């Protein structure tokens, strides 16, 4: 395994480990519990996407096993649906940390959210327009774009899991403030992972 890929794999494993730790410590329904739970969903989608990427890369033609391309499309569609996860971070945790003087991470992470929104949507459009390019060119572009999304999101999640969320838990001490942030989150809605008593996504 190449060093860069090995590093990404180690970070993914580290992210899964810290998710497990915090899910045991936090009550279900706490906003950080929900964000960690959603990260687990996203990491699983990225693993699924990576498997599908490899399978499509090994195809000789689009008609050889078209269901593999559809599987890849479905993985990316799931990531697009998880956009509301980023919206809730941008509207709750990041501004609250900013009020407390913590600006170390969230400006970069918000920028990555905006970039990923367009990146995922454009990749989905590219996959759905398979017939507009020859299959060999399609595979190379697919592989490049898929790896970009997978790598960036895994790194992004690692930073949030290991730095942003623990910092939020340390700095935001008021139970009333956590209740307020939960209400904002509930109003924005959820997708693919639903805390008990909540509804699917309404605003993206």
In the chain, pLDDT over 90 holds for what percent of residues?
74
pLDDT (tens digit, 9 = 90+) per residue, 18-42? 888 899 999 999 999 999 999 999 9
pLDDT of amino acid 94: 96
Residues 170-198 have a mean pLDDT of 91
pLDDT (tens digit, 9 = 90+) per residue, 73-127? 999 999 999 999 999 999 999 999 999 999 888 889 999 999 999 999 999 999 9
Please state the pTM of the whole predicted model. 0.88
Q: Does domain 3-188 sit in CATH 3.40.720.10?
A: no
Q: 107 CB contacts (<8 Å, ≥6 apart)?
A: none
Residues 153-164 have a mean pLDDT of 94
Domain borders along the chain are 3-188
| More confident site: 14 or 139 | 139
DSSP 130: G
pLDDT of amino acid 132: 73
Is the pLDDT assigned to residue 69 strictly greater than 90?
yes
Give the number of other CB atoms < 10 A from CB of residue 139: 18
- CA–CA separation, 186 vs 50, rounded Å? 31
- Residue 17 backbone phi and psi in degrees, to 5: -65, -45
Is the pLDDT assigned to residue 130 strictly greater than 90?
no
Q: If phi over 0 gives left and psi between -120 and 50 gives alpha, with beta otherwise, what is residue 3?
A: alpha
- CA–CA separation, 18 vs 161, rounded Å? 7
pLDDT of amino acid 144: 97
CA-nearest of 114, 122, 102 to 166 is 102
- Judge whether 16 and 158 are in contact, CB under 8 Å: no
- CA–CA separation, 202 vs 204, rounded Å? 7
Q: How far is CA 163 from the centre of its chain?
A: 16
- Judge whether 130 and 138 are in contact, CB under 8 Å: yes
In the chain, pLDDT over 70 holds for what percent of residues?
89
């Amino acid at each position: 395994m190449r060093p860069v890929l090995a590093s990404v794999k180690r970070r993914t494993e580290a992210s899964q480990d810290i998710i497990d730790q915090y899910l045991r410590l936090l009550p279900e329904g706490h906003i950080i519990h929900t964000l960690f739970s959603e990260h687990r969903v996203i990491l699983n989608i990225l693993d699924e996407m990576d498997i599908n990427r490899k399978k499509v890369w090994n195809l000789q033609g689009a008609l050889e096993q078209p269901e593999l391309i559809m599987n890849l499309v479905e993985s990316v569609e799931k990531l697009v649906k998880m956009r509301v996860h980023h919206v809730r971070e941008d509207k709750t945790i990041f501004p609250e940390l900013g009020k407390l003087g913590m600006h170390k991470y969230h400006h970069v992470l918000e920028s990555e959210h905006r970039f990923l929104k367009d990146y995922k949507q454009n990749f989905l459009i590219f996959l759905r327009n398979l017939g507009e390019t020859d299959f060999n060119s399609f595979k190379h572009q697919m592989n490049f774009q898929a790896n970009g999304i997978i790598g960036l999101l895994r790194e992004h999640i690692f930073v949030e899991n290991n730095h942003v969320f623990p910092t939020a838990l340390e700095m935001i001490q008021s139970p009333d403030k956590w209740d307020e942030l939960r209400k904002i989150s509930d109003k924005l809605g959820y997708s693919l992972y639903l805390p008990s008593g909540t509804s699917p996504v309404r605003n993206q």
